[in-house]
Amino acid sequence: MDTASLDVDSVFGFPVEGALDKAERLDYGESAMTHAMVLEGVNLDSEERPTLWKVENSWGKDHGKDGFDSITDEWFDGYVFQVVVDRKYLTASEREILETEKPAVLAPWDPLGSLA
């Protein structure tokens, strides 16, 4: 999965893929949290920034490479809305936020609640 694999905007001559940002895609129903995958690994560049993610897809072994997909970090940034991380992998400052900040309660119609 790569946001640069198809240049749809050039084909049509106007913004299609690039017309909406991540928040607008949620607001207008173009994107939704309707699918879950397991992060299995990440490729880091020389500056420790992620470039490619390995995910196990829930569509089964016949999808992708034995049930696994690769997604670019750009795709991850654009289409991943929520992750679940074991606390042991959080930094001390991230754990402090969890302990001191009050969680936000979303309205039932909020687009981030569609998978929940």
Question: Against a cut of 0.85, is the pTM above it?
Answer: no
Backbone angles phi, psi at 24, to 5 degrees: -65, -35
Residues 102, 34 contacting (CB under 8 angstroms): no
Q: Where are the domains of the chain?
A: 8-106
- Give dist(CA 58, CA 47) in Å, integer: 31
pLDDT band (50, 70, 90) for residue 53: very high
The pair of three-digit structure tokens given for residue 53, joined into one six-digit string: 């993610």
Handedness of CA 75, 76, 78, 81 (dihedral sign): positive
pLDDT digits (tens, 9 = 90+) for 54-92: 999 888 888 889 989 999 999 999 888 888 889 999 999
Average pLDDT, the chain: 87
Select the more confidently predicted residue: 48 or 103: 48
**How many whole angstroms from its chain centre is CA 81?**
5
